[in-house]
Structure 1
Amino acid sequence: LIKGHHSTSSNEINFTLQVLTTLRFLAKGDYLSEVADMHGISLSSASRIVHSVCSALCLSLDNIKFPTAQQLNRIKDEFHAICNFPNVVGAIDGTLIPIQGMTSEEEPYFVCRKGFHAINVQAVVTADLRFTNVVVRWPGATHDAFILANSALPGIMEGVNGWLLGDSGYPLKKWLLTPFAQPSNQHEERYNSSHCTTRNTVERAFGVLKSRFRCMHKTGGSLQFGTEKCVKIIECCFRLHNKALSERVPLQGGSEVIPVFHNHGQ
């Protein structure tokens, strides 16, 4: 899968060991020094290996794509089957990935409303928890609505016959439906209920993602790399998540899906 894209200054280390080192770090979220000791390599080698393998995987796994027109029809049917909400092509939200490696100049921009340093990632998912659009670049203090406005999604959705479902942190648009802030009748309450249940797919997708790759959840500590390396590691985990779905790889040991952090309310 990645040999054609993979190169590292640690080429004296067995290729299989490099991949296993990376996958263990992504999955367990241990301190990289612990992973390095476990595999009998230096911390500096482990750091180079993780970055090199993640970069190679991002190049080789071209599997985060907005659906084609034909695929959208199936996606609408799958969303409709959840709670009878019609014409939905995706659920959108942001999630916070804890990091620690930013510079002192960057630091204030990465403090999220929950008080820790993070990258705020925007993602769109289908009903089967597959990511179809991911934006990994913005510091944790950035509001979800700002990330959306400065992404490619508005341009993409202008040409799509369908809706995204988002929470109240997003603006209402003709292609993005949000809940009623104060439902005033039974119809609006039913709309909110169906909207919430259907949109919950993105919450579940983040939960599965972070259960599979604990390096992205606070229970696994935080990513202690420079921001560019953190971005590459995060993107790699999203792509591996989609690959795991395609290959029907179950969560290890029947792991429970863990709660996730969002940047709502700013």
Structure 2
Amino acid sequence: MKSSAHRIMHRVTAAISSLSRQLIELTTMLEEITDAQVDFNAIASFPRVISALDCHDSSIFQNSRLRARLEAGTVGDGIILADGGCALKLYLITSLQNHQNDAERLLNESQIRTRNTVERTFGVWKRRFPCLATGMRFLVDHVLLMIVAIAVLHHKARRRLSE
């Protein structure tokens, strides 16, 4: 039997995460995708990047609208940079394990510098929401909802700080 605190926590998490469609928007407009690509390209000259992924987050990605859109081909030529633990896809690339020449070394360097920007954001989240750093002992479905709820809370906190 689940405790009242457990049931309340799940209800609150579901209520907060339900706000995500209003507050957090993954763009489908090609112009905005192109803007994201330009922004990522400015970091380390890595073209076509729209996002980055740590493979610890792969179960979240597998259940995301972004993955569904990439699989359907509705985000243009966008790609995601991932760490070495992820399986390659047409839209998901990792660094080269054993670079053979300067061009491959520069490719890896650029990929890592671009991904580091997103990794720093994960660090901000982990400081703001320590449960992300220490781990959550819940079923994957519950963790997915909690991460969406955390994204909503992070978005609201950033908006409040910018006001």
TM-score normalized by the length of structure 1: 0.50
State the match for 1:75 in structure 2. Answer: 36
Matches within 5 A, 1:216-231: 216-218=132-134, 222-223=135-136, 228-231=141-144
- Give the counterpart letter for 1:232 in structure 2: L
The answer to whether the aligner puts 1:122 opposite 2:122 as a matched pair is no
Report the secondary structure of 2:54's partner residue: strand
The answer as to 2:80 corresponding to 1:164 is yes
For 1:86, the aligned partner's letter is P
Letter in 2 for 1:94: C
* Whole-angstrom CA distance in 2 between matches of 1:176 and 1:52: 34
Which of 197, 204, 210 is the matching residue for 2:126?
A: 210
Q: 1:46 offset after TM fit, Å?
A: 3.8
Structure 2: runs of 5 or more not aligned: none
User: 2:33–2:75: 8 Å Cα contact kept in structure 1?
Assistant: no
Decide which structure has greater helix share. Answer: 2
Question: How far did 1:81 drift?
Answer: 1.3
Find the counterpart in structure 2 of residue 60 from structure 1.
Answer: 19
**Does the CA contact (< 8 Å) of 2:60 and 2:144 recur in 1?**
no
For 1:203 and 1:242, how far apart are their aligned partners in 2?
A: 17
Higher relative contact order (CA 8 A, sep 6+): 2
Indicate the residue corresponding to 2:102 in structure 1: 186
Deviation at 1:159, TM superposition (A): 4.6
Q: Residues 174 and 55 (structure 1 numbering): CA distance in 2 closer, same or farther, change over 3 Å? A: closer
Deviation (angstroms), 1:55: 1.3
Q: 2:69·2:75 contact (CA, 8 Å) conserved in 1?
A: no
Matches of 2:78 and 2:139, distance apart in 1:
38
Q: Read off the aligned partner of 2:60 and give its amino acid letter.
A: Q
Which of these two proteins has the greater Rg computed from alpha carbons? 1
Q: Which residue of 2 aligns with 1:196?
A: 112
Q: Deviations over 1:72-127 (max 9, x none)?
A: 1221121111111122111122336xxxxxxxxxxxxxxxxxxxxxxx6435xxxx
